[in-house]
Structure 1
Amino acid sequence: MQLYIVDSPIGIFALNDAGEIVGKSLFKGGSAEAAKLVAKINKGEAPEEVTNFLRGLAKRRKFKKLIFDNPKLAGALEGRIAAEIHVQRPCPAASKFRRKLASTALKLKVFKSEVEFEDFVRDVSLQLASLSVREAAAKRDAFAIQAARALDDLDKTLNLFSGRIREWYGLIFPELNGLIESHEAYLK
């Protein structure tokens, strides 16, 4: 038996060959928590909730093969679950399921209305965008911080060398130290 594993903004679903839900793990904690879990999945990490769900599913049901349409999630779960893991892109079962995700969420009573579902998905998308912008800004800030530290190190080193040269040359020509203030002019 094979199962199709579909990730979505509301949770992870396991589907049989007929496209019926045989297991689900809904994300808890609202849109912010769901966005964090989706971000982990998109980075190629398997959240503990997802791993535990699939392990539990493996114990209750006998299946030989898990088919993912998300290669990053499949890669993260490789070796952590006692089943063959395959990636199928495009995956017709996953595409069909995602097209009717709103109606499925309403049938499962996860949301009271389609508007509530759409608001939730929009909030998750906004949170994901915000996380991505924060990560990109943090990387750019890290480059700026490193550049500033390098300039500080260079400044300290130049001041140290200038001080040493003034000391050494001051032994030969001590009057010059009082005549020239600028390190550059002193070195010339």
Structure 2
Amino acid sequence: MIKLTTNVLGTFALKNGKIIKRIPFPSDPEEVAERLLQIEGGVCREEIQMIDELRETGIKEIHVQNPGRFLGKNLEMDFIEDKESINPLDIAREIGVSKKEISELIFLSNLELTKKKLRVLERDQILIQAVCSLDDIEEVSNRLIGRLREWYSLYFPELDTLVKKHELYAEIIALGDKAPIDPGIAKNIRDAKKKSMGMEFSRSDLNEVKKLSDLILKLNSFRRDTEEYIQELMQDISPNISALAGPILGARLISIAGSLERLSRFPASTIQILGAEESFFRFLRTKKKPPKHGIIFQLPEIRSSPKNLRGKISRIFASKLAIAAKADHFKGEFIGDKLREEFLKRVEDLKKSNNNL
């Protein structure tokens, strides 16, 4: 029987209680802490290397304390639960490391591990505030554009019908002939203005409306800057979620969950309906149809799919996102592109099957 155990000293393979193979960790406590963080919910590179080497010798099963963290890693090995823990002091004694040395390494590594977790937590909260700020900007901008259209329509009501895009509408008022519009649309606007049914505005009236349009354009620029900032934060905090869901949707999921750690602990069924809590509680009260999706409906692959497939696609996406969240929280390897590719393939297969019905 081969046992695999990992502690601050490295990864060890044992047979009948004796070490038969070992791959040491770097001696730097910060790097040890990085490995410890990885094995909280996944595997570290030394463990992967050890499993590969054991498999090459013909070993097909390994006894480990937590088989769950090895699943889904394509390691081509059977993992059997071993409830008997292996004392790191026994390992240290066998390889000639003193009790003082390993005790000091355990202390320093756990100190670094705590720092890393706190840093991640702090970055989480910064990200959540950025998302809340983005939501506030969008809410204020939408209110102001509504006010701008209502106000300017008193002067030039036809423009409201001719220009549907809010930002372009504000640009036309703010910049006049310098606004970046299609020549055909510009001609339609000039023709409509000649026979407009709007009321007369004084120069000061138009200036006030122009100030409002300027403010809206500044808010839109600020929104874009905030989105870029969120993208940078997501690349640092959650590269896997960002690659799978996109940085903005990924950030919103973390914000709704309250932290990356909480999101990483949610089952796929919970992730699927995040943002649809009111609908879910209504389902619990009335026993009518439960919500098929929450905020993940913003994902183009879900939103643009036939209604009869949206629930299935939402479940597939939520299961992939649960894996991505764990990989990000426990600082595992980057698998975001792979998860995204697998998700798109499943969506493609579903649509093909649906078309053949």
Task: Kindly indicate whether residue 158 of structure 2 is the aligned counterpart of residue 164 of structure 1.
Answer: no
**Aligned equivalents of 1:87 and 1:76: distance in 2?**
16
**Aligned equivalents of 1:29 and 1:115: distance in 2?**
15
The normalised TM-score by structure 1 is: 0.74
Q: 2:128 aligns with which of 120, 128, 143?
A: 143
Aligned to 1:85: 79
Cα 1:123–1:72 change in 2 (3 A) is farther
Unaligned runs of 5+ residues in structure 1 are: 184-188
**Aligned equivalents of 1:127 and 1:133: distance in 2?**
10
> Per chain length, whose mean CA-contact separation is higher, i.e. which structure has more relative contact order (CA < 8 Å, sep 6+)?
1
Fraction of identical pairs, as percent: 14
Aligned to 1:8: 7
Secondary structure (helix, strand or coil) at the match of 1:43 reads: coil
Deviation at 1:12, TM superposition (A): 1.2
Deviation at 1:141, TM superposition (A): 2.0
Secondary structure (helix, strand or coil) at the match of 1:130 reads: helix
- Larger helix fraction of residues: 2
Secondary structure (helix, strand or coil) at the match of 2:154 reads: helix
Aligned to 1:108: 95
**Aligned equivalents of 1:84 and 1:156: distance in 2?**
56
Cα 1:134–1:6 change in 2 (3 A) is same
Task: Kindly indicate whether residue 108 of structure 2 is the aligned counterpart of residue 123 of structure 1.
Answer: yes
Unaligned runs of 5+ residues in structure 2 are: 156-197, 213-357
Cα 1:125–1:76 change in 2 (3 A) is farther
Cα 1:116–1:5 change in 2 (3 A) is same
Query: After TM superposition, which residue ranges in structure 1, 4 or more long, deviate above 4 angstroms?
Result: 175-178
Deviation at 1:107, TM superposition (A): 4.0
What amino acid is aligned across from residue 80 of structure 2 in structure 1? Answer: H
Cα 1:11–1:21 change in 2 (3 A) is same
Contact map agreement 1:102 1:117 (CA 8 A) in 2? yes
The normalised TM-score by structure 2 is: 0.42
- Larger strand fraction of residues: 1
Q: 2:49 aligns with which of 46, 52, 55?
A: 52
Q: CA RMSD in A?
A: 2.6
Contact map agreement 1:74 1:86 (CA 8 A) in 2? no
Q: 1:74 aligns with which of 54, 70, 76?
A: 70
1:14-64 alpha-carbon deviations (Å, 9 max, x no partner): 111x211111111124111111111111122x223221122112324x434
